[in-house]
Structure 1
Amino acid sequence: MQKEEDKLLVRIAEMYYQEDKNQSQISKELNIHRSTISRLLKRSRNEGIVNISINYDKAGTYSIEKELQEKFNLKKAIIVQAGADLSRTQKDKLLAQGVGEYLTEIIKDNMIFGFSWGETMSAIPEGLTDYDVKNILCVPMIGGPSGRLISDYHVNTITYEASKKLNGRALLIDSPAFPETVALKKALMENEFNQELIDYWRKIDIAILGIGSPTLKASESWKQFYGEDVLAYLEGKKVVGDVVSRFYNIEGEHIDNTLDDRLIGIDIADLKRTPYRIGVAEAVDKADAIASALKGRYINVLVTTEETAEEVLKRSV
């Protein structure tokens, strides 16, 4: 009797999986009720008559994305495949396209977008596509550079260009990220215009931000943005990375420092309340900074390259 049942299970599995027949067709041919066919197909899997294997290699980066999402409780991990021979600019464009495609899943009318500054961030507007939405507002999440910065990397440029692609409007900032004194910061923040910005920082729906790493602080853009005095201050602070110039350690814990007293930018608590915090970064040298940003929950969506993602997973064992 068991042998006959097993034969039936094999025959049904063969018809369904190899002959590509649907359950209704099998039901008619074998004169068995459709609900029974469904139950027997499930039984054939449970008893090992049918073994379903998924070839994740064919899915490219799916398994890495899944591992990142589960390990760091992310809303989404987006891994772009970028060959080692690609330039920094080419990789940044791919990352921007990844961001643009993800936005099609989450963007809605009346949303507020927040942006940070930087070289990778400068590619974001180009990666945005046509979205059927209205009344989008784009705001900078931090003040401008202390020194002379390439204009494309400036948060105002990025914010304005993104607003055009999103058919929205932009509110720009006319204050430095690090005023020379705390008193000057307070005076600037009492400005009606900046008060409006602070209000919007508390209402951002989607934040798109780069991830900084002090291992790259010798770069011209870091020098131009922060100035020598800030970089000198960071020496010895065990800084692993930063998001919108809020610095953190290897555990992702915010490092309290006197720079925070001068910083004009979104507060950490407001950032973490933002529903979508999309971190965009790549480079093996940034792996610690990215992993720690994930640990600290500064971001809950990651867009990076496959090489960087693998290194991030190694650093977070």
Structure 2
Amino acid sequence: MYYMQDLTMGAIASELSTSRSSVSRLLSFARESGLVDIQIRSPFDRGIALERTLRERHHVTVHVVPMPQSISDVDRLERVAMTAGRQLGRYVDSNMVVGIAWGSTLGAISRHLVQKPTHNSTVVQMNGAGNTQTTGIDYASEILHRFGEAFTAQVQQFPVPAFFDDPATREGLWRERSTRRLLDIHARMDVAIFGLGSPFAEVPSQVYIGGYLDSEDYRSLSADGVVGDIATVFYRGDGSFADVALNARASGPNLERLRRVARRVCVVSGVQKLPSLRGALAAGLITDLILDESLAVALAREIPSPAERRRSGSASAGEA
């Protein structure tokens, strides 16, 4: 009656013999539960032009979240997370395996998820969360639980350390049947949802402030020229990652394998994460990108590398 018949809340209240405030609450519930999905397509929105520019340059699907430059990075993350939480239902469906990377961004997104019942779906933790101070189970399980509830999916935790002390320990545990079962689920992921870890961000990435790295680890990352991580697996600004020393001890997915996941949804906010985003795009780790307007502008203003120009040229020639 409200959206399709253009009735006012007062008219609806009269017809349903209820109060106007009750109608208002029902309309709010309809939006929050996903019964009503509101989309805005403004011809004056510069975000559309930004999305087109970034899509053509990086060959990813882009959604730019508009907001003023003066907003704090905490509020910026919250707005991007809210938008992502309301959009993720487009990527998740029945009979899917959905990989979730824990972190500040995924924690924020999990609080804004819109209900979308599915069947025979699984939400799996992509990387371990334990360190010398905590098992990380409570932190990661809360995020996974919210995703599982939103999509009525089975939840599979990955109860291992974020980083092993010795690569041989990881290799030994990876051969165990109980761990192998979870790694097999990882191999069947249809969708991977993640933020980007960054040592430069104003809103600190959990891996850099949660006791996961010591001074020697930081020296190693600096020596390797690391600019960010996905699910605690690190990469450089040029997109390379194979010989980053700390990755031999990481519990997150091999980034070469991650590239084989059909849909890889990255949610990121804050201009400080530009180097991390550039590296992830250079590595081809993203298919769908949700980001704030300031970061989108900064990314669009960068001069494309020769490799990016060649890719764009090849794509244009193919389309022609």
- With structure 1 as the length reference, what TM-score do the two structures score? 0.75
1:250–1:288 contact (8 Å) kept in structure 2:
yes
> 250, 272, 276: which one pairs with 2:263?
276
Contact residue 129 and residue 136 of structure 2 kept, 8 A? no
* Residues 123-143 of structure 1, C-alpha deviations (whole Å, 9 max, x = no match): 121221121422221111111
**Greater percentage in helix:** 1
Aligned counterpart for 2:224 among listed residues 237, 251, 254: 237
Residue 72 of structure 1 is matched in structure 2 by 58
Q: Which range is displaced more, 156-165 or 62-71?
A: 156-165
Alignment of 1:136 with 2:124, yes or no, is: no
8 Å CA contact 2:74, 2:203 repeated in 1 = no
Residue matched to 1:223? 209
Contact 1:287 1:312 in 2 (8 A): yes
Which residue of structure 1 lines up, in the alignment, with residue 44 of structure 2?
A: 58
In structure 2, stretches of 5+ residues that fail to align are 1-40, 305-320
Gaps of 5+ in 1: 1-54
Deviations 1:241-282 (A, max 9, x none): 221222222221225133222221212122111111111111
Deviations 1:180-209 (A, max 9, x none): 112321232233221111101111111111
CA distance in 1 between counterparts of 2:283 and 2:132 reads 29
Deviates more, 1:86-95 or 1:250-259: 86-95
Distance (whole Å) between structure 2 residues aligned to residue 218 and residue 119 of structure 1 = 8
Separation in 2 of the partners of 1:111 and 1:232? 39
> 1:106: Cα distance to partner?
3.2
Find the aligned partners of 2:110 and 2:42 in 1 and give their Cα distance: 32
**Structure-2 change in CA distance of 1:170 and 1:225 (3 Å):** farther
Contact 1:115 1:139 in 2 (8 A): yes
State the SS of the aligned residue for 2:63.
strand
Q: 1:220 to 1:155 in 2, by over 3 A?
A: same
Give the equivalent residue in structure 1 for 2:170: 185
1:297-312 equivalences in 2 (<5 Å): 297-312=284-299
Does 2:198 correspond to 1:203?
Answer: no
Counterpart amino acid of residue 109 in structure 2: I
User: Structure 1 CA distance, aligned partners of 2:293 and 2:255?
Assistant: 28
| 1:315 alignment partner in structure 2 | 302
Identity of aligned residues (%): 23
Aligned equivalent of 1:212, options 197, 201, 222:
197
Q: Pairwise mapping of residues 288-303 of structure 1 onto structure 2 (< 5 A)?
A: 288-303=275-290
Rg bigger for which structure?
1
RMSD: 2.6
Residue 118 (structure 1) aligned with residue 106 (structure 2): no
CA distance in 1, matches of 2:130, 2:51: 34
> Given that residues 223 and 231 in structure 1 are in contact (C-alpha distance below 8 angstroms), is that contact kept between their aligned partners in structure 2?
no
Q: What one-letter code is carried by the residue in structure 2 that aligns with 1:158?
A: I
The one of the two structures with greater contact order (alpha-carbon pairs below 8 A, sep at least 6) is 2
Task: Provide the aligned length of Structure 1 versus Structure 2.
Answer: 262
Q: 1:119–1:153: 8 Å Cα contact kept in structure 2?
A: no
Paired with 1:164 and 1:287, the residues of 2 have a C-alpha distance of 32
Give the aligned partner of residue 144 of structure 2: 159
- For residues 144 and 311 of structure 1, what CA distance do their matches in structure 2 show? 32
